[in-house]
Amino acid sequence: MDGVIATLTAAWKHLVRREGAQPDTELFQTSIMGALLQGQYEGSMSYATLALHGDFGIGTFNDLDGEMIAFDGRFYQLRSDGSVRTVEPKQLTPFALVTFFKPAEVINIDSESDQAAVATRIEQSSSANLFTAIKLEGHFRKMTTRTVEVQSKPFPPLIEAAAHEKTLSFSQIEGTIIGFRTPAYAQGIGVPGLHLHFLSRDERSGGHVLSYSLDSGNLQLMPLHTFHLELPIAAEFVGSTLSLDSFSKDVKEVEGG
């Protein structure tokens, strides 16, 4: 098993180092949150292509088959049955954000902090007007995550799909949070505020972060000044009516903001 993972990692490293990718401070995103909210869960972008744009980030899979978290060059699929597996390059995504992470600021948090206190640290050390990549490694006193469940056609809107999501709670768990702070003006494109995913250190559990408290940890932040948004070519996207009317209510309900 170790040999398989080592081989896959080597394959990813080869892909992400290909010439033409932007290695510095670019955030790359495929599709938009507004399309995902409407039930557009079928993308044409493979993880092999996504990895050319970054090896760190979050997202989901076609048919909404779980949560994605990527860091240190590895991509993981966290499924609603609680399983975790390494993503295969040929898998497809309808929505993901990635970058090549190089922290600009490292903050050690050595006292117990709740979610709001960590959010305040992030807000103090980043701009509300930039996208910021976030990595938080630590020992979590509590962690509650959710994982969306694979959907079949006709796809329901995300708010309905999320009503059946699986929620998991952990206590005294080590692991890594990966995510982004998104500006309010990007509503419709992303999830304004913090959007975070978690993977336990033993790589056996995780998901989209709903709530947590931290005993101690290491917070790393990277401001992103370039935003590369790739929009779907599918008729489903091109011909759909995307409206911001219910976006903020729906995204808050679905993402737990």
DSSP character string of 157-204 = PHHHHGGG-EEEEEEEEEEEEEEEEE-GGGBTTB-SEEEEEEEETTSS
Q: Which residues bind Zn ion (CB under 5 A)?
A: 208
Which run of H or of E encompasses 255? helix 247-255
| Chain centroid, CA 89 distance in Å | 17
What does the DSSP 8-state code read for residue 94? S
Contact predicate 49/21, CB 8 Å:
no
In this complex, which beta carbon is closest to Zn ion, that of residue 15 or of residue 255? 255
Give me the least distance between CB of 250 and Zn ion, in Å please: 14
In this complex, which beta carbon is closest to Zn ion, that of residue 53 or of residue 208? 208
In this complex, which beta carbon is closest to Zn ion, that of residue 95 or of residue 100? 95
- Spatial neighbors of 45 by CB under 8 A, at least 6 apart, are 30, 92, 93, 96, 230
In this complex, which beta carbon is closest to Zn ion, that of residue 15 or of residue 254? 254
Q: Classify 42 as helix, strand or coil.
A: coil
Give me the least distance between CB of 111 and Zn ion, in Å please: 28
Give me the least distance between CB of 146 and Zn ion, in Å please: 8
Amino acid at 244: L
Give me the least distance between CB of 215 and Zn ion, in Å please: 23
Amino acid at 107: I
Give me the least distance between CB of 108 and Zn ion, in Å please: 26
In this complex, which beta carbon is closest to Zn ion, that of residue 16 or of residue 69? 69
Cβ-closest position to Zn ion: 208
In this complex, which beta carbon is closest to Zn ion, that of residue 15 or of residue 92? 92
Give me the least distance between CB of 17 and Zn ion, in Å please: 27
Angstrom distance (rounded) from CA 44 to CA 202: 31
